[in-house]
Structure 1
Amino acid sequence: MRFIDTHCHLDFDELRERLPQHLADAQALGVEHCVVPGVTLAQCRTLPAFAQQYSGVKIAFGLHPYFMAQHKAGDMAQLAELAHRHSSELVAIGECGIDAIVEDIPAQQQLFIEHIALSNALKLPLIVHHRKSHHLLAAAFKQQPPQNGGVIHAFSGSLQDANTYLKLGFKLGVGGTISYPRAVKTRTTLAQVPLDSLVLETDAPSMPLAGYQGQPNTPKRLVEVFEHLCAIREESPQDIAEVIYKTSQEILSR
């Protein structure tokens, strides 16, 4: 079976020291590609060289809402310039979105709208972060309709939430959350949506699966995410793997 980790922060400090081994471990289990999203302007500037250094790494540029305190006036304009310059190397725009736990929601909304506009200009999908913000994302999408879909990273929510995103051309990112029995609503939703609306992700080094709390997450755990998904779906593991691999390739095709 072949897999694509559609969201992992391989360049974060927790993974850096043993990164070649982490990648080798994942590749040995069939994880062919890993998508590394942008989080700050300074980090995005390092990503093209990072992708050239490690086989199978794909990159995206974005300003993560979690780092709002670090983003400065003019960062988005510089990010857009950088993205246009490296557009042939990017598979998406993001990680971007709205996080209701972080301060200054109006500024987050405006920044997210600018990311949508950039993705439309470059004809690239979006990698969208959400936390207690489905309604805020919906408002931004109404103001600046996305034209190239993307991935709703670490999707959690109801079937209604899922269908709203699917109608806009997005896929749902399935990660370690589904390994926790308490995630009843999300597990129920992911069991019901069309199989071709799902992609797999680890969010390494974050979002550890049940049983690995307190440990850095790694790309090899993608196979365990897949196994948890198989446990709640009716299709065969082979069919699930094939469809999700194809969907991941289509949405992140470069």
Structure 2
Amino acid sequence: MLVDSHCHLDFPDFAEERATIVARALAAGIGRMVTISTRVRRFQQILEIAETFNEVYCSVGTHPHNAAEELDVTADELVRLSSHPKVVAIGEAGLDYFYDKAPRDAQAQGFRTHIAAARRTGLPLVIHSRDADDDMAAILEDETGKGAFPFILHCFSSGRRLAEVGVALGGYVSFSGILTFKNSAELRDIAADVPRGRLLVETDAPYLAPIPYRGKRNEPAYVANTAKVLAETIGVSETEIADITTGNFFRLFTKMPRPDMAAG
């Protein structure tokens, strides 16, 4: 079994055929999917999707692009919303200096609010970081000094130092379809050095479809393609990479019921 630790099933790209997309993922051996929140004010839409499908769970949080719109979201609110049985993570939150769609101080403020919620709940924080390696590392080190919290560096495409800092602080590193791209040799080198006990795979669907689907709409079933390349990168079989990444997933996402414990 594989797990898609990060997708966006609420996005319009899937609106007309969400059930078909989920069914295709299940047929491909993807036993769990986490659909990730980008706006707390739209959380009910995410939750409804998670409640519709046994194998789909969700997070609650504000993407850095939307940080300025939701600075009124408090750690208390995140903690309260995360009490729902289907909510297994906080985020995604973090820093995005590539698009800079929100002021950087707003991004940092929102990120620290989400860290506080992750620390209080014990739920993993799904971290978005793009072109912000130094500030991200500094915040992670500062906040971990106040008290550890579980986290995942999602859709990792940053530099080696951030991966090393994340692992040193107890975090996990998740790779998306970017890992399969021909020009991603440096990223594969980083992935090869991440401890096997900290590796995860994801799609970030509908974005970043892996080879051979690059340029098309991504979907959870395609996480198998990324897992295949990750297996080749670290020198294990596809069965082994499924065991490694799925085991890591359940170790990090502690609230997620394992298939033999879940209805359906």
Q: Would you say same fold, with TM above 0.5?
A: yes
Bigger mean CA offset, 9-18 vs 231-240: 231-240
TM-score (norm 2): 0.89
1:88: how far off?
Answer: 4.2
Paired positions, count = 250
Residue of structure 2 equivalent to 1:238: 239
Could you tell me which residue of structure 1 aligns to residue 200 of structure 2? 199
In 2 relative to 1, CA 167–186 (structure 1 residues): closer, same or farther, beyond 3 Å? same
Hey, what's the Cα distance between the residues in 1 that align with 2:71 and 2:175? 33
Matched AA of 1:139 = A
After superposition, the C-alpha distances for 1:32-57 in whole angstroms (9 at most, x for unaligned) are 11011110122213322221111211
Q: Once the 2 structures are TM-superposed, how far is the Cα of residue 58 of structure 1 from its aligned partner?
A: 1.0
Residue 223 (structure 2) pairs with residue 212 (structure 1): no
Contact 2:4 2:30 in 1 (8 A): yes
Q: 1:87 aligns with which of 69, 74, 83?
A: 83
User: 1:1-254, aligned counterparts within 5 Å?
Assistant: 2-68=1-67, 71-74=69-72, 76-77=73-74, 80-81=76-77, 83-89=79-85, 90-101=87-98, 102=100, 103-145=102-144, 147-254=148-255
Contact conserved, 1:195 with 1:240, CA < 8 A, in 2?
Answer: no
Identity of aligned residues (%): 27
Q: What is the deviation of 1:165?
A: 0.3
Shift in CA distance, 10/109, structure 1 to aligned 2, threshold 3 Å: same
Structure 2: which amino acid aligns with 1:245? T
More divergent stretch after superposition (39-48 vs 56-65)? 39-48
Shift of 1:73: 4.3
Match of 2:59, SS state, is strand
Q: Quote how far apart the aligned CAs of 1:221 are.
A: 0.4
In structure 2, the residue corresponding to 1:127 is in which secondary structure?
Answer: strand
1:35·1:59 contact (CA, 8 Å) conserved in 2?
A: yes
Change (3 A) 1:166 1:182: same
Cα contact 1:61–1:83 (8 A) shared by 2: no
Specify the SS of the correspondent of 2:105.
Answer: helix
CA contact 2:115–2:149 (8 Å) conserved in 1 = no
The Cα offsets for residues 118-149 of structure 1, whole Å up to 9 and x where unpaired, read as 11111211100010111111222233226232
Instruction: Give the conservation status (yes or no) of the 8 Å contact 1:4–1:248.
Output: yes
CA contact (8 A) 2:118 2:150 kept: no
Classify the secondary structure of the residue corresponding to 1:144: helix
> Mind listing any 5+ residue stretches in structure 2 that lack a counterpart?
256-264
- Find the residue that maps to 1:58 and give its secondary structure: strand
Q: Distance in 2 between matches of 1:9 and 1:205?
A: 7
Shift of 1:68: 3.6
Deviation at 1:202, TM superposition (A): 0.2
Q: Which amino acid aligns with 1:249?
A: F
TM-score by length of 1: 0.92
